[in-house]
Chains A and B, each alone.
Chain A
Amino acid sequence: MSEHPDKELEDLLAQSRRARDAYRAAAADEQPLAEIDAAILAASRRQVGARPYDLKRGFVARWRVPLSMAAVLVLGTSLSLLFYEDKTHEKVMSDLPAPAAAPAAAPETQEQRPDGAGQPQADAQNGIAESAQAPAEEKRSEPSAEGSGTAGAQPSEVFKQQPKEVPAKAKMRDATAKPPHDAGIPSERERKSAATLEEVVRQAKEGQRKQEEAERRVRIEAESGAKETAGPPSQAVTPVAPGTSSASDTAAPSHTAGGTPRTAAAGASTAPASPPPAAPSATLPSRENDGAASSTADSRAGRSGVLAQEEGTQKPAEPVPPAGEAARLGRLKGDTADETRAMPSTAAAPQSAAPAAAPKAESSADPEGTTQKFMRKKQAPAELSATRLKSPDAWLEDIKLLWNADRKEEARTQLREFFKKYPDYALPSDFPLSKPDSTAP
């Protein structure tokens, strides 16, 4: 039934062809207005977001993405720089408290040094401890050689005076330009703290000198007292030198706060013939050997030995072969001609060299004690030659002690040598001896 109507329709359409053609011919020219076409097409483009006819909006659309990217870049860069500056500033601020605590730690470190404390921790925190450990960097230190104690105080003072508004970039630049022990310390701040540093050094030297003089007096009086008694000389010395040999190994290197590390390092390198443990403590330091490079271990050993010398009989004496001791004594004797080379800061070493060597002689294999007697005989001149490295007042004080100890001939000899070095020096009024010209008391 469905095919028949379709055929009907087809027949109908075929019969109506003329009418349909007439309609198409009549309606062919009927078209919508051009304005309507443009409006509809524009609306269709607006709907999908394409607006080629809107030049203003096209400009914005064309530059929207580049402008957005540029804005993001500018903002991102600005924020990154801002965060970087803040971070650097925080780092500088966080670095400041450690140096600020250094002055408080510096006296504590000095107090620990006689007890055998190791490296100054405050220096190590500031990155300047290398100067106290590495001999190569010690060589770079100033000629006055305040020592590790003062060197440890130096950065502390510097950091204490360091302004907080120092630019981070300037600090980084200084850190990269300076050697490691001076890293982060601008030269301007060093100059600012120079007065404070000098004062600290002067106080340290003064304290050291007083301590050495007191020890020297005690030692000489003890020796003179021992000489009067019938006991052997070594027994007069040994009470103040208990055999705690291990204590010297842990001695602080910077006890004397002035040039001690350098002296120790030099001593370690100037006694090649001596046995390794005793050689540093048995040699007299010389300035020419200060710059000799040595390992950190040697430097520590040298400092330990020097500390034993400085602490005199309180520190243990390590066994030294007689040959090395004799060589040392000979060198001590020859040092009288090298007085001008010696530094005042290194005078403490020979003072305690003889007392430290006495137990060594006792512990040596010499049954008859010939070396001991020799040492004992040369002990006082060795000490006095060491005292001549000191100031004239200290020297005269030593001569006075010799005189009072009834060692008058030695006192006269020392006085003659004194006036050889200081011919125009005026003796104090209470001095028991007069000038060597009269040679009479």
Chain B
Amino acid sequence: MLDQTEADETLMLRYRDGDAGAFAILYSRHKGSLHRFCLRMCNDKARAEEVYQDTWMNLIQAAERYRVEARFTTFLFQIARNRMIDLMRRDGREAFSLDDEEGQGVADSLAASSLNQPERMLDRKQDAARILAALDQLPPAQREAFLLHEEAELPLEEIAALTNVGRETVKSRLRYALARLREALGDSQ
């Protein structure tokens, strides 16, 4: 009855009209990526799960007002990002610093540190730990751009719209993030 290949937007519309099964499909599709996004952005599992659960709850409550204006993933991760900013403000932490200079500085420092990594950490099993550690060291804006690109598979334009920056900014952040990760893996040719 429910088409598994149906677009996310269609499923969301069906859920808005009362089809609970449509939401189950949506959830199964995006629960992993959103959960990882929350984990990488919060650097705290408990906080990440709180953001993750609140994101889905907000999506459920906002379903009645849902209209197809963008990708569903953009809508979903936008909710998660806003919830994340709210939690950081509540905790007194500064929200995402989208300063390019800061990001550039962090990237530079990460790149410098990664160059000092020993070459024996280059095997595949160790690559995961190193990439995750390198990701945690990335500035939030670059990390966010990387995660939105990798997890939500959003194009640069969608990421730019979601983060309220220009497309080139997103591209620059993504470029710096990838460079630092490659450096962490010793793959910086």
Binding site for B on A (CB under 8 A): 5, 8-9, 12-13, 15-16, 18-20, 22-27, 30-33, 36-37, 39-41, 43-45, 47-50
Contacts and interface: CB of A to CB of B under 8 A. Distances in A.
Nearest to A45: B20
Interface residues of B, number: 43
B82 interface: no
A40 B57 contact: yes
7 contacts: A12-B178, A18-B185, A23-B131, A23-B132, A24-B150, A32-B49, A44-B20
Closest CB pairs A-B (n = 10): A26-B128, A22-B127, A16-B178, A19-B181, A44-B23, A40-B56, A22-B131, A48-B18, A45-B20, A32-B35
A9 to B, nearest CB: 6
Contacts of B60: 40, 43-44, 47
A158 to B, nearest CB: 70
Contact of B124 (A15, A22, A48): A22
Residue among B23, B40, B184 with most chain A CB within 10 A: B23
Interface of B: 15, 18-20, 23-24, 27, 31-32, 35-36, 39-40, 49, 52-53, 56-57, 60-61, 63, 124, 127-132, 135, 150, 156, 168, 171, 174-175, 178-179, 181-182, 184-185, 187, 189
B165 to A, nearest CB: 15
A25 B124 contact: yes
Contacts of A25: 124, 127-128
B182 A19 contact: yes
Nearest to A27: B36
Dominant SS among interface residues on chain B: helix
Given A19-B181, A23-B150, A30 B32 contact: yes
Nearest to A9: B171
A41 B15 CA distance: 12
B128 A22 contact: yes
Nearest to B156: A9
Given A26-B128, A31-B31, A19 B23 contact: no
Contact of A50 (B20, B40, B135, B182): B20
Contacts of A13: 178
Contacts of A19: 131, 178, 181-182, 184-185, 187
Residue among A19, A33, A44 with most chain B CB within 10 A: A19
A40 B53 contact: yes
Nearest to B16: A48
B76 to A, nearest CB: 12
A41 B181 CA distance: 36
B61 A47 contact: yes
A5 B174 CA distance: 12
A9 B174 contact: yes
Nearest to B14: A48
A427 to B, nearest CB: 114
Contacts of B135: 23
